A and B are shown apart, each in its own frame.
Chain A
Amino acid sequence: MGYLHLLLAVTSLGMLGVLHKVADHRGCRPQAINLLLFLCASLLLGLAASIRSSPGTLLAVPGRVLAIGALCGMCAGLAILNFQHAVRFGKISTSWLLINLSMAVPTALSIFIYREQVTPKRALSMTLTVAALVLLWIDRRQEER
């Protein structure tokens, strides 16, 4: 059962990337796709949260959680909006990798702000991230020539 769930995760996360390009091919507006993606997901999650506890739980969120969630959600909204615009000019195969590599940002922030330990694994992954970004930049430059 665990492997079936893993297969569901792989195909769902992959399809999410593919649908960004499908939206562009079908002439969908980035703002509309962004709105419906976030709205539908919040409705589904809100429903799940209400079933798990009581419908009023969403209103009983601590102020700090609300502020952090709202700020970070807006950042994510801004990210997807710009990503949708970018996909119009670029390839989904490399753009999706770039958006996934942005996981290096919270890792770097955790190291600088919270003084988290720089393990050899983390150092290697950050170095490889920079190398991948440079290689993708070179690929894009070659394509533009």
Chain B
Amino acid sequence: MYFRYMCIAFVANGLGVFGLRILAAAGLANTDTFQYLTIWYLAGAALALAALNTRKLFLKEWIIGGAMAVCSLFGQVGMAGALSGGLPGYVVFPVATGGGLLFVVAVGVSFFRERIGASGYLGIAVGTVALVLLALPG
């Protein structure tokens, strides 16, 4: 089950961010990012609403879901602020991507007591380097 879910998540997540490239190719690169992202998030919410088989939402789901939304937006705001604060893109994008990833690994291992084998650690190291390279501008 894990592989099936992760395969769908992998491909769908990649397609989800491809929209910005389609916009650029269609000559719509000057579209307001806020407008585009609002539509993007609303469409995701519509899909989630269709998948939800009950209308009852618990308080813990409101708190955690809301906190995730704030984290998602603060991540973007933080990167934009760092860029406008004078830090170059070749520092901001790799550090934000790689740093966020290592943060999750550290919490997963120390707080959730996740056991990772040698190939897992090697995969994390290789994957982090791949992501940092992908995030480097130019």
Please state if B119 and A72 are interface contacts (CB–CB under 8 Å): no
The B interface, classified by DSSP as helix, strand, loop or mixed, is: helix
Which residues of chain A come closer than 8 Å to B25, judged between CB atoms? 114
Please state if A70 and B78 are interface contacts (CB–CB under 8 Å): no
Given known A6-B82, A48-B34, A109-B18, contact A99–B13 (CB-CB < 8 A): yes
Partner of A103, one of B44, B66, B134: B134
Nearest CB of A to B57, in Å: 5
Please state if A14 and B85 are interface contacts (CB–CB under 8 Å): no
- Give the residues from 91 to 136 in chain B that come closer than 8 angstroms, CB to CB, to chain A: 91-92, 95-97, 99-105, 107-109, 112, 114-117, 119-120, 122-124, 126-131, 133-136
Closest chain A residue, CB of each to CB of B36 = A69
Partner of A28, one of B11, B38, B60, B77: B60
Please state if B6 and A95 are interface contacts (CB–CB under 8 Å): yes
Which residues of chain B come closer than 8 Å to A121, judged between CB atoms? 133, 136, 138
Closest chain A residue, CB of each to CB of B129 = A128
Please state if B51 and A28 are interface contacts (CB–CB under 8 Å): no
Query: What mask results when residues 53 to 90 of chain B are scored 1 for a CB within 8 Å of chain A, else 0?
Result: 10001101110111111111111111111110111000
Please state if A91 and B68 are interface contacts (CB–CB under 8 Å): no
Please state if B43 and A8 are interface contacts (CB–CB under 8 Å): no
* Cα of A65 to Cα of B80 in the assembled complex, Å: 22
* Cα of A98 to Cα of B14 in the assembled complex, Å: 11
Which residues of chain A come closer than 8 Å to B40, judged between CB atoms? 69-70, 72-73, 76
5 contacts between A and B (CB under 8 A): A25-B112, A31-B52, A80-B13, A82-B5, A90-B2
Give the B-binding residues of A (Cβ under 8 A).
Answer: 1-3, 5-23, 25-29, 31-42, 44-46, 48-49, 52-53, 57-58, 61-62, 64-66, 68-83, 85-86, 89-107, 109-110, 114, 121-122, 124-126, 128-129, 131-136, 138-140, 142-143
